[in-house]
Protein backbone atom coordinates (compact mmCIF):
# COMPACT_ATOMS: atom_id res chain seq x y z
CA UNK A 1 0.00 0.00 0.00
CA UNK A 2 1.41 3.39 -0.98
CA UNK A 3 0.83 6.42 1.22
CA UNK A 4 2.45 9.78 0.65
CA UNK A 5 3.04 12.93 2.71
CA UNK A 6 1.87 16.20 1.19
CA UNK A 7 2.04 19.97 1.59
CA UNK A 8 -1.30 20.77 3.16
CA UNK A 9 -3.06 24.06 2.86
CA UNK A 10 -4.57 24.59 6.29
CA UNK A 11 -5.82 27.21 8.76
CA UNK A 12 -3.61 29.46 10.80
CA UNK A 13 -3.42 28.05 14.32
CA UNK A 14 -5.56 30.78 15.88
CA UNK A 15 -8.31 30.31 13.27
CA UNK A 16 -8.51 26.51 12.97
CA UNK A 17 -11.61 26.29 15.19
CA UNK A 18 -13.30 28.95 13.05
CA UNK A 19 -12.33 27.56 9.64
CA UNK A 20 -13.02 23.82 10.02
CA UNK A 21 -16.62 22.80 9.43
CA UNK A 22 -18.74 19.71 9.29
CA UNK A 23 -19.44 18.36 5.82
CA UNK A 24 -21.81 20.80 4.14
CA UNK A 25 -24.40 18.06 3.56
CA UNK A 26 -24.95 17.81 7.33
CA UNK A 27 -26.29 21.37 7.62
CA UNK A 28 -29.89 22.40 7.14
CA UNK A 29 -30.33 25.52 4.99
CA UNK A 30 -31.21 27.51 8.09
CA UNK A 31 -28.15 26.32 10.01
CA UNK A 32 -25.96 26.92 6.97
CA UNK A 33 -27.03 30.53 6.63
CA UNK A 34 -26.50 31.13 10.35
CA UNK A 35 -22.97 29.70 10.14
CA UNK A 36 -22.15 31.75 7.06
CA UNK A 37 -23.59 34.98 8.44
CA UNK A 38 -21.96 34.57 11.84
CA UNK A 39 -18.46 33.35 10.96
CA UNK A 40 -16.43 35.04 8.18
CA UNK A 41 -13.65 32.44 8.51
CA UNK A 42 -15.74 29.30 8.01
CA UNK A 43 -14.66 26.98 5.21
CA UNK A 44 -18.34 26.96 4.29
CA UNK A 45 -17.72 30.33 2.60
CA UNK A 46 -15.49 28.50 0.12
CA UNK A 47 -18.03 25.74 -0.46
CA UNK A 48 -20.86 28.32 -0.72
CA UNK A 49 -19.31 31.36 -2.41
CA UNK A 50 -22.74 32.46 -3.70
CA UNK A 51 -24.09 33.38 -0.26
CA UNK A 52 -25.27 36.72 -1.62
CA UNK A 53 -27.77 34.98 -3.87
CA UNK A 54 -31.38 34.82 -2.73
CA UNK A 55 -31.05 31.07 -2.59
CA UNK A 56 -28.04 28.94 -1.78
CA UNK A 57 -26.62 27.25 -4.88
CA UNK A 58 -28.26 29.75 -7.24
CA UNK A 59 -25.09 29.53 -9.32
CA UNK A 60 -24.75 26.00 -10.63
CA UNK A 61 -22.16 23.73 -12.24
CA UNK A 62 -18.79 24.93 -13.50
CA UNK A 63 -19.67 28.59 -12.92
CA UNK A 64 -20.15 27.91 -9.23
CA UNK A 65 -16.98 25.81 -9.07
CA UNK A 66 -14.98 28.75 -10.45
CA UNK A 67 -16.40 30.87 -7.64
CA UNK A 68 -15.28 28.22 -5.15
CA UNK A 69 -11.75 28.43 -6.52
CA UNK A 70 -11.78 32.21 -6.37
CA UNK A 71 -12.96 32.22 -2.75
CA UNK A 72 -10.34 29.63 -1.83
CA UNK A 73 -7.59 31.82 -3.29
CA UNK A 74 -8.96 34.75 -1.26
CA UNK A 75 -8.61 32.70 1.94
CA UNK A 76 -4.99 31.93 1.00
CA UNK A 77 -4.22 35.54 0.09
CA UNK A 78 -5.67 36.72 3.41
CA UNK A 79 -3.57 34.14 5.35
CA UNK A 80 -6.70 32.47 6.68
CA UNK A 81 -5.23 29.38 5.04
CA UNK A 82 -1.49 28.87 4.55
CA UNK A 83 0.49 26.31 2.58
CA UNK A 84 2.98 24.13 4.42
CA UNK A 85 6.55 24.52 3.21
CA UNK A 86 7.31 20.81 3.02
CA UNK A 87 5.38 17.54 2.70
CA UNK A 88 4.19 16.05 5.98
CA UNK A 89 1.90 13.46 7.45
CA UNK A 90 -0.64 14.60 10.03
CA UNK A 91 -2.02 12.86 13.10
CA UNK A 92 -5.70 13.66 13.60
CA UNK A 93 -7.51 12.83 16.81
CA UNK A 94 -11.19 13.38 17.46
CA UNK A 95 -12.60 12.79 20.94
CA UNK A 96 -16.35 12.24 21.08
CA UNK A 97 -18.26 11.09 24.17
CA UNK A 98 -14.95 10.20 25.77
CA UNK A 99 -13.79 7.98 22.90
CA UNK A 100 -10.62 9.02 21.05
CA UNK A 101 -10.48 8.32 17.31
CA UNK A 102 -6.86 8.64 16.15
CA UNK A 103 -5.73 8.35 12.56
CA UNK A 104 -3.20 9.36 9.93
CA UNK A 105 -4.05 12.05 7.38
CA UNK A 106 -2.11 11.39 4.19
CA UNK A 107 -2.62 10.88 0.49
CA UNK A 108 -3.16 7.41 -0.97
CA UNK A 109 -2.56 6.09 -4.45
CA UNK A 110 -5.26 6.08 -7.11
CA UNK A 111 -3.46 3.03 -8.53
CA UNK A 112 -4.13 1.14 -5.29
CA UNK A 113 -7.80 2.10 -5.55
CA UNK A 114 -8.08 0.96 -9.15
CA UNK A 115 -6.15 -2.27 -8.48
CA UNK A 116 -8.48 -3.25 -5.64
CA UNK A 117 -6.02 -2.73 -2.79
CA UNK A 118 -8.35 -0.02 -1.51
CA UNK A 119 -11.63 -1.91 -1.37
CA UNK A 120 -15.20 -0.66 -1.62
CA UNK A 121 -18.53 -1.91 -0.31
CA UNK A 122 -20.89 0.57 -1.96
CA UNK A 123 -21.87 1.35 -5.54
CA UNK A 124 -21.53 4.96 -6.69
CA UNK A 125 -23.92 7.01 -8.78
CA UNK A 126 -22.36 8.00 -12.11
CA UNK A 127 -24.12 11.39 -12.11
CA UNK A 128 -22.86 12.30 -8.65
CA UNK A 129 -19.37 11.05 -9.52
CA UNK A 130 -19.29 13.20 -12.67
CA UNK A 131 -20.33 16.32 -10.74
CA UNK A 132 -17.67 15.83 -8.09
CA UNK A 133 -15.00 15.06 -10.70
CA UNK A 134 -15.83 18.35 -12.38
CA UNK A 135 -15.69 20.05 -8.99
CA UNK A 136 -12.20 18.67 -8.29
CA UNK A 137 -10.96 19.55 -11.75
CA UNK A 138 -12.24 23.13 -11.61
CA UNK A 139 -11.50 24.02 -7.98
CA UNK A 140 -8.21 22.14 -7.71
CA UNK A 141 -8.83 21.31 -4.04
CA UNK A 142 -9.81 18.29 -1.99
CA UNK A 143 -10.81 19.37 1.50
CA UNK A 144 -12.59 16.36 3.04
CA UNK A 145 -10.57 13.16 3.54
CA UNK A 146 -11.90 9.74 2.63
CA UNK A 147 -12.11 7.61 5.79
CA UNK A 148 -10.17 4.35 5.38
CA UNK A 149 -9.73 1.47 7.81
CA UNK A 150 -6.67 -0.75 8.09
CA UNK A 151 -5.28 -3.53 10.21
CA UNK A 152 -3.73 -2.43 13.50
CA UNK A 153 -0.04 -1.50 13.44
CA UNK A 154 1.90 -1.34 16.70
CA UNK A 155 4.71 0.46 14.87
CA UNK A 156 2.36 3.20 13.74
CA UNK A 157 0.87 3.48 17.23
CA UNK A 158 4.40 3.95 18.55
CA UNK A 159 5.00 6.89 16.22
CA UNK A 160 1.66 8.43 17.18
CA UNK A 161 2.47 8.10 20.90
CA UNK A 162 5.71 10.01 20.43
CA UNK A 163 4.02 13.02 18.84
CA UNK A 164 0.92 13.05 21.02
CA UNK A 165 3.13 13.76 24.05
CA UNK A 166 3.64 17.27 22.69
CA UNK A 167 1.34 20.24 22.21
CA UNK A 168 -0.94 19.75 19.18
CA UNK A 169 -0.82 22.12 16.25
CA UNK A 170 -4.59 22.41 16.67
CA UNK A 171 -6.67 21.69 19.75
CA UNK A 172 -10.26 22.92 19.88
CA UNK A 173 -13.75 21.74 20.77
CA UNK A 174 -16.67 22.32 18.44
CA UNK A 175 -20.15 23.38 19.52
CA UNK A 176 -21.22 19.75 19.11
CA UNK A 177 -18.88 18.94 22.06
CA UNK A 178 -16.36 17.09 19.89
CA UNK A 179 -12.68 17.80 20.51
CA UNK A 180 -10.34 18.01 17.50
CA UNK A 181 -6.54 17.76 17.64
CA UNK A 182 -3.87 17.70 14.96
CA UNK A 183 -0.12 17.11 15.04
CA UNK A 184 2.39 17.56 12.20
CA UNK A 185 4.69 14.62 11.45
CA UNK A 186 7.64 16.48 9.95
CA UNK A 187 10.69 14.37 10.90
CA UNK A 188 12.12 12.70 7.79
CA UNK A 189 12.90 9.38 9.52
CA UNK A 190 9.33 9.13 10.85
CA UNK A 191 7.89 9.90 7.42
CA UNK A 192 10.03 7.18 5.86
CA UNK A 193 9.07 4.69 8.57
CA UNK A 194 5.35 5.36 8.03
CA UNK A 195 5.72 4.79 4.30
CA UNK A 196 7.45 1.45 4.99
CA UNK A 197 4.78 0.43 7.51
CA UNK A 198 2.04 0.82 4.91
CA UNK A 199 4.06 -0.98 2.26
CA UNK A 200 3.52 -4.09 4.45
CA UNK A 201 -0.25 -3.53 4.74
CA UNK A 202 -1.91 -5.31 1.79
CA UNK A 203 -5.44 -3.86 1.90
CA UNK A 204 -7.35 -0.79 3.05
CA UNK A 205 -11.15 -0.50 3.18
CA UNK A 206 -13.29 2.56 2.52
CA UNK A 207 -15.45 3.27 5.54
CA UNK A 208 -16.83 6.58 4.28
CA UNK A 209 -16.22 8.44 1.03
CA UNK A 210 -16.95 6.13 -1.91
CA UNK A 211 -17.93 8.98 -4.25
CA UNK A 212 -14.88 11.04 -3.29
CA UNK A 213 -12.66 8.06 -4.08
CA UNK A 214 -14.28 7.20 -7.40
CA UNK A 215 -14.25 10.86 -8.43
CA UNK A 216 -10.55 11.11 -7.63
CA UNK A 217 -9.91 8.11 -9.88
CA UNK A 218 -11.97 9.75 -12.63
CA UNK A 219 -10.01 12.98 -12.16
CA UNK A 220 -6.73 11.15 -12.67
CA UNK A 221 -8.01 9.74 -15.99
CA UNK A 222 -9.15 13.21 -17.03
CA UNK A 223 -5.80 14.80 -16.15
CA UNK A 224 -3.91 12.18 -18.14
CA UNK A 225 -6.24 12.65 -21.09
CA UNK A 226 -5.91 16.44 -21.14
CA UNK A 227 -2.13 16.34 -20.71
CA UNK A 228 -1.82 18.01 -17.32
CA UNK A 229 -0.69 14.83 -15.55
CA UNK A 230 2.74 13.97 -16.95
CA UNK A 231 4.64 12.67 -13.88
CA UNK A 232 4.15 9.85 -11.39
CA UNK A 233 4.14 12.37 -8.53
CA UNK A 234 1.42 14.57 -9.98
CA UNK A 235 -1.16 15.37 -7.23
CA UNK A 236 -4.04 13.81 -9.20
CA UNK A 237 -2.37 10.40 -8.86
CA UNK A 238 -3.32 10.51 -5.18
CA UNK A 239 -6.30 11.46 -3.05
CA UNK A 240 -6.78 12.76 0.48
CA UNK A 241 -7.48 10.18 3.18
CA UNK A 242 -7.57 9.63 6.93
CA UNK A 243 -6.60 6.07 7.94
CA UNK A 244 -7.71 4.53 11.24
CA UNK A 245 -7.21 0.99 12.42
CA UNK A 246 -10.42 -1.03 12.27
CA UNK A 247 -10.81 -1.25 16.06
CA UNK A 248 -10.82 2.54 16.26
CA UNK A 249 -13.93 3.29 14.20
CA UNK A 250 -17.55 3.08 15.28
CA UNK A 251 -20.12 1.63 12.89
CA UNK A 252 -23.73 2.51 13.71
CA UNK A 253 -26.98 1.46 12.10
CA UNK A 254 -28.78 3.67 9.60
CA UNK A 255 -32.46 3.52 10.51
CA UNK A 256 -35.47 3.92 8.18
CA UNK A 257 -38.43 6.29 8.31
CA UNK A 258 -41.44 5.97 6.00
CA UNK A 259 -43.97 8.66 5.12
CA UNK A 260 -47.00 6.37 4.82
CA UNK A 261 -48.12 2.75 4.92
CA UNK A 262 -49.01 2.53 1.23
CA UNK A 263 -52.75 2.84 1.94
CA UNK A 264 -52.65 0.07 4.55
CA UNK A 265 -54.14 0.49 8.01
CA UNK A 266 -51.78 -0.09 10.92
CA UNK A 267 -53.59 -3.35 11.70
CA UNK A 268 -53.35 -4.60 8.12
CA UNK A 269 -49.66 -3.66 7.94
CA UNK A 270 -48.86 -5.52 11.16
CA UNK A 271 -50.76 -8.55 9.88
CA UNK A 272 -48.74 -8.60 6.64
CA UNK A 273 -45.51 -8.41 8.62
CA UNK A 274 -46.35 -11.75 10.26
CA UNK A 275 -45.61 -13.58 6.98
CA UNK A 276 -41.89 -12.96 7.50
CA UNK A 277 -41.53 -11.93 11.14
CA UNK A 278 -42.64 -12.79 14.63
CA UNK A 279 -44.32 -9.53 15.69
CA UNK A 280 -44.48 -8.71 19.39
CA UNK A 281 -45.12 -5.52 21.31
CA UNK A 282 -41.93 -4.24 22.91
CA UNK A 283 -40.85 -1.90 25.71
CA UNK A 284 -40.50 1.81 24.99
CA UNK A 285 -37.50 2.77 22.87
CA UNK A 286 -36.83 -0.85 21.98
CA UNK A 287 -33.48 -1.24 20.20
CA UNK A 288 -32.64 -4.41 18.22
CA UNK A 289 -30.17 -6.63 20.04
CA UNK A 290 -29.04 -8.99 17.28
CA UNK A 291 -29.04 -9.60 13.53
CA UNK A 292 -32.44 -10.44 12.12
CA UNK A 293 -34.22 -8.33 14.72
CA UNK A 294 -35.85 -4.95 14.02
CA UNK A 295 -37.71 -2.36 16.03
CA UNK A 296 -40.88 -0.77 14.68
CA UNK A 297 -42.49 2.36 16.05
CA UNK A 298 -46.04 2.81 14.80
CA UNK A 299 -48.96 4.81 16.24
CA UNK A 300 -47.19 5.34 19.58
CA UNK A 301 -46.45 1.65 20.05
CA UNK A 302 -43.11 -0.19 19.87
CA UNK A 303 -42.80 -3.63 18.30
CA UNK A 304 -40.05 -6.20 18.03
CA UNK A 305 -39.87 -7.84 14.60
CA UNK A 306 -37.88 -11.08 14.60
CA UNK A 307 -37.07 -12.77 11.32
CA UNK A 308 -38.73 -16.22 11.12
CA UNK A 309 -36.00 -17.77 8.96
CA UNK A 310 -32.29 -16.98 9.18
CA UNK A 311 -30.68 -15.32 6.17
CA UNK A 312 -27.11 -14.41 5.16
CA UNK A 313 -28.33 -11.07 3.82
CA UNK A 314 -27.71 -7.79 5.63
CA UNK A 315 -30.63 -6.56 7.71
CA UNK A 316 -30.88 -3.44 5.55
CA UNK A 317 -31.37 -5.67 2.51
CA UNK A 318 -33.89 -7.87 4.29
CA UNK A 319 -35.96 -4.88 5.35
CA UNK A 320 -36.10 -3.72 1.73
CA UNK A 321 -36.84 -7.19 0.35
CA UNK A 322 -39.48 -8.16 2.90
CA UNK A 323 -41.10 -4.87 3.92
CA UNK A 324 -40.23 -1.67 2.09
CA UNK A 325 -40.56 -2.99 -1.44
CA UNK A 326 -43.38 -5.61 -1.32
CA UNK A 327 -45.55 -4.02 1.37
CA UNK A 328 -44.88 -0.29 1.09
CA UNK A 329 -44.01 0.03 -2.60
CA UNK A 330 -40.61 1.64 -1.91
CA UNK A 331 -38.34 0.12 -4.53
CA UNK A 332 -35.61 2.76 -4.95
CA UNK A 333 -34.01 3.85 -1.67
CA UNK A 334 -31.85 6.46 -3.38
CA UNK A 335 -34.68 8.39 -5.00
CA UNK A 336 -38.03 7.57 -3.38
CA UNK A 337 -39.11 10.57 -1.30
CA UNK A 338 -41.37 8.37 0.85
CA UNK A 339 -38.36 6.98 2.72
CA UNK A 340 -35.78 8.82 4.84
CA UNK A 341 -32.84 7.76 6.97
CA UNK A 342 -31.81 8.56 10.53
CA UNK A 343 -28.29 7.92 11.77
CA UNK A 344 -27.89 5.50 14.66
CA UNK A 345 -26.38 7.97 17.18
CA UNK A 346 -29.75 9.79 17.27
CA UNK A 347 -31.14 6.63 18.82
CA UNK A 348 -34.65 5.31 19.21
CA UNK A 349 -35.61 8.69 20.66
CA UNK A 350 -34.95 10.24 17.26
CA UNK A 351 -37.19 7.68 15.56
CA UNK A 352 -40.00 8.24 18.04
CA UNK A 353 -39.80 12.02 17.66
CA UNK A 354 -39.92 11.79 13.86
CA UNK A 355 -43.16 9.78 13.99
CA UNK A 356 -44.80 11.64 16.89
CA UNK A 357 -44.36 14.97 15.08
CA UNK A 358 -46.40 13.50 12.18
CA UNK A 359 -43.51 13.85 9.71
CA UNK A 360 -43.48 10.08 9.23
CA UNK A 361 -45.96 7.27 9.68
CA UNK A 362 -43.56 4.60 10.94
CA UNK A 363 -39.94 4.05 11.88
CA UNK A 364 -37.70 0.98 11.70
CA UNK A 365 -34.63 0.47 13.88
CA UNK A 366 -31.88 -1.86 12.64
CA UNK A 367 -29.00 -3.73 14.25
CA UNK A 368 -25.62 -2.24 13.23
CA UNK A 369 -23.36 -3.86 10.65
CA UNK A 370 -20.05 -5.17 12.02
CA UNK A 371 -16.70 -4.02 10.63
CA UNK A 372 -15.98 -7.66 9.76
CA UNK A 373 -19.11 -7.71 7.57
CA UNK A 374 -18.01 -4.55 5.76
CA UNK A 375 -14.63 -6.12 5.04
CA UNK A 376 -16.15 -9.43 3.95
CA UNK A 377 -18.52 -7.73 1.51
CA UNK A 378 -15.68 -5.63 0.09
CA UNK A 379 -13.43 -8.69 -0.23
CA UNK A 380 -16.15 -10.41 -2.28
CA UNK A 381 -16.53 -7.29 -4.48
CA UNK A 382 -20.16 -7.02 -3.41
CA UNK A 383 -22.13 -3.93 -2.43
CA UNK A 384 -24.35 -2.97 0.48
CA UNK A 385 -27.75 -1.38 0.01
CA UNK A 386 -27.70 2.44 0.21
CA UNK A 387 -27.46 3.92 3.71
CA UNK A 388 -26.54 0.70 5.48
CA UNK A 389 -23.96 2.20 7.82
CA UNK A 390 -23.28 5.42 9.71
CA UNK A 391 -19.57 5.50 10.45
CA UNK A 392 -17.73 7.70 12.94
CA UNK A 393 -15.57 9.71 13.20
CA UNK A 394 -17.09 12.24 10.84
CA UNK A 395 -14.16 14.28 9.57
CA UNK A 396 -14.08 18.07 9.35
CA UNK A 397 -13.85 19.93 6.04
CA UNK A 398 -11.08 22.48 5.63
CA UNK A 399 -8.86 21.30 8.47
CA UNK A 400 -6.32 20.16 5.90
CA UNK A 401 -6.70 20.81 2.17
CA UNK A 402 -4.99 18.78 -0.54
CA UNK A 403 -4.13 20.89 -3.57
CA UNK A 404 -4.57 19.10 -6.88
CA UNK A 405 -2.51 21.64 -8.83
CA UNK A 406 1.26 21.54 -8.56
CA UNK A 407 2.93 24.42 -6.76
CA UNK A 408 6.54 24.93 -5.56
What is the set of domains in the chain, with CATH numbers? 3-249+393-403 (3.90.1530.10), 252-390 (3.30.1760.10)
pLDDT more than 90, % of the chain: 86
Residues 217-249: tens digit of each pLDDT: 999 999 999 888 878 899 999 999 999 999 999
Q: What's the confidence (pLDDT) of residue 380?
A: 96
* DSSP letter for each residue of 198-237: HHT---EEEEE-HHHHHHHHHHHHHHHHTT---STT-GGG
Dmax over Cα atoms in the chain, in whole Å? 69
With both helix axes pointing from N to C terminus, report the angle between 61-77 and 126-139 in degrees, rounded to the nearest 10: 40
Instruction: Give the pTM.
Output: 0.92
Q: What's the confidence (pLDDT) of residue 184?
A: 97
- Of residues 53 and 164, more confidence is placed in 164
Q: Name the residue among 381, 384, 404 with its Cα closest to residue 119.
A: 381
Cross-strand pairs, 74: none
In three-state secondary structure terms, 109 is: strand
Question: Is a pLDDT exceeding 70 seen at residue 269?
Answer: yes
Residues 124-141: tens digit of each pLDDT: 888 889 999 999 999 999
- Of residues 274 and 38, more confidence is placed in 274
pLDDT more than 70, % of the chain: 97
**What does DSSP assign to residue 242?**
E
- In angstroms, the CA 252 to CA 236 distance is 32
Q: Name the residue among 28, 248, 219 with its Cα closest to residue 138.
A: 219
Q: What's the confidence (pLDDT) of residue 222?
A: 93
Residues 382-403: tens digit of each pLDDT: 999 989 999 999 999 999 999 9
Amino acid sequence: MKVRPFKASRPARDKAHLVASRSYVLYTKKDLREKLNGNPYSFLHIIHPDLGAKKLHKTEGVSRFHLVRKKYEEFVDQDILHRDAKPMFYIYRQIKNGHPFTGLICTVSVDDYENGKIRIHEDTLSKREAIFTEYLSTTGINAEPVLLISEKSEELEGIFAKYIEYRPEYDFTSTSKVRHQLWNINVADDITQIEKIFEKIPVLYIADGHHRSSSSAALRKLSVRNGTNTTKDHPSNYFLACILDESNVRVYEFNRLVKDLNKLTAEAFLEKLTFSFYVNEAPSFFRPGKKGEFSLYLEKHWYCLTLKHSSPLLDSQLLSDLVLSPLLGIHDLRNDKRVAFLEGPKGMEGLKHSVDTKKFAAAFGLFPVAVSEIKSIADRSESMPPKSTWVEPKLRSGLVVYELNEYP
